[in-house]
Amino acid sequence: MREYETTFIVQPEISEEGCQELLARVDQVLERSGAARLLHDDQGKRRLAYEIHDFQKGRYVTCYFLDEGKAVKPLERALRLEESVLRFLTVLKTDEVVDVEARKLAAVEEERVRAERARERREREAEEERARQEAARTAAAEAEARAQA
C-alpha cells in the first residue's frame, strides 16, 4: 500500500456544512475505489498567492489515504467536477506503508489533534471577525457624531 495526500483549495465562503458534505463525497469516492482514508486536515482560510476565479482567499483541506494508486484518478475527477474546489494536487507521500494498521491508528490520533486545532482556529477567526465588525461600527459612529457636530 502507498500513502497519498490530496490537497485542495475550496472557495472561502463555503459553509462548514458545505465543507463537511464535500469531505463526505471525497470519502465516498475513496471507498468506492477501495482506498482507506486516513484523515482530513482542514487548515482553514488562507490568502492565496494569486487570485483564482476572483478569489483572494481559499480554504485549504488535505486528505490523506492509503491505496495502490487506483483511487487517484476518480478522486481528481470528482474534485475537478466540484464547483467549490478552486485547485487540487495529489502527491505520493510514502511509497510503501509496511504496517497499515499502525498507520491507521496513528492517523486517528493525528486527526483528533488536528480537529482540536481547527476548532481553536475557527474560534480565533470568529473572535477576530467580531472585533473587526465592532471597530467598524465604532468608527462609523464616531464619523456620524463628527458629521452632526
Per-residue pLDDT tens over the stretch 111-134: 888 888 878 888 888 899 899 999
pLDDT tier for residue 148 given thresholds of 50, 70 and 90: confident
The CATH number of the domain holding residue 78 is: 3.30.70.60
pTM listed for this prediction = 0.77
- Quick one: pLDDT at residue 99? 87
In eight-state DSSP terms, residue 71 is S
**Which of 12, 108, 28 shows the shortest CA–CA distance to 61?**
12
Contacts of 7 (CB under 8 A, 6+ apart): 60, 61, 62, 63, 88, 89
Structural domain count, the chain: 1
Give the count of beta carbons closer than 10 Å to the beta carbon of residue 64: 21
For residue 123, what are the domain limits?
2-148
